Amino acid sequence: MSTKLFDLSGKIALVTGSGRGIGFVLARGLASAGARIVLNDVDADGLAAATETLREDGVDAEGVSFDVTNANSVAAGLRDVVERVGNVDILVNNAGIQRRYPLEEFPEEEWRAVLDLDLTAPFLVAKAVVPDMIKAGGGKIINICSLQSTVTRPTIGAYTAAKGGLALLTKSMAVEWAQHNIQANGIGPGYFRTEMTRRLHEDPEFDAWLCKRVPAGRWGDPQELVGTGVFLASAASDYVNGQLLYVDGGLLAGF
């Protein structure tokens, strides 16, 4: 089989929240398939360091700092991306947060912060990027959803509501924009070792529970999301639209 199917040469990929964690690893993975990379984060210093790291690895990367939850900031950030790099062909909506409280105690502000970043931001960024994709004749949108787009645990009600919403927003993007040759799909990671899950993987009780619960018997490594990311960003997935591909070590397959 030709690897050209997965070749991203000549494509520009914007990955939100990619100063660290899964976003950074996905960006590096898309670069290894040939894409030019635009990293984004709110933390300008972290973003500059991440961009420099990619450049040292020989990656053609730019960093554009903007807050994806704010429509004005998104519009200005996108203008900057187009002027400095060019039109976005591949958008990865990755930025996300987790907040944990029992539902009856969930502070409204924290609830709204999770919904803003994990659900509204992918809508805002896609809305800003899609007009140029339509003009260009197509594009790829990858929404980083979660295992918790479909199942949940106590204390993560806001995250589950947002990621469940994002799975269905992905379908709306697919059905509305397929006519423009835009494919919108989701990746549903299981449990991966990042800053977001630090409290969990440093908790021996949770770690033991998880390793017993996941058929693979271990946490995921963010690098293991790259193959799915490249597939959904490439011509190999041109007739795949509105799907959520879980990368979870088999967790959802059993109970």
Q: Which residues bind ligand NAP (CB under 6 A)?
A: 16-17, 19-23, 40-43, 46, 67-69, 94-97, 117, 144, 146, 189, 191-192, 194-197
208 touches 200 (CB < 8 A): no
Q: Which is nearer to ligand NAP, 69 or 228 (CB)?
A: 69
List the catalytic residue out of 159, 191, 239, 246: 159
The widest CA-to-CA distance across the chain, in whole angstroms, is 54
- Kindly report the three-state secondary structure assignment for every residue of 151-216: CCCCCCHHHHHHHHHHHHHHHHHHHHHHHHCEEEEEEEECCECCCCCHHHHCCHHHHHHHHHHCCC
The residue count for the chain: 255
Name the strand (E) or helix (H) holding 32: helix 21-32
- Least distance CB 34 / ligand NAP (angstroms): 23
In the complex with ligand NAP, the residue whose CB is nearer, 23 or 157, is 23
Tell me how far, at minimum, the Cβ of 3 lies from ligand NAP, in Å: 27
DSSP string, 95-127: --------GGG--HHHHHHHHIIIIIHHHHHHH
Q: CB of 33 within 8 A of CB of 7?
A: yes
For the bound state, the minimum distance from the C-beta of residue 183 to ligand NAP, rounded and expressed in Å, comes to: 19
Alpha-carbon gap, residue 192 to 29, rounded angstroms: 16
90-93 vs 139-144, strand pairing mode: parallel
Least Å distance, CB 176 to ligand NAP, is: 22
Nearer to ligand NAP, 43 or 238 (CB): 43
| In the complex, least distance from residue 239 CB atom to ligand NAP, rounded to whole angstroms | 26
State yes or no: is 159 an active-site residue: yes
Residue number, 17 or 164, with CB nearest to ligand NAP? 17
Q: How far apart are CA 121 and CA 115, in angstroms?
A: 9
Give the residue with the Cβ less far from ligand NAP, 59 or 119. 119
Catalytic residues: 159
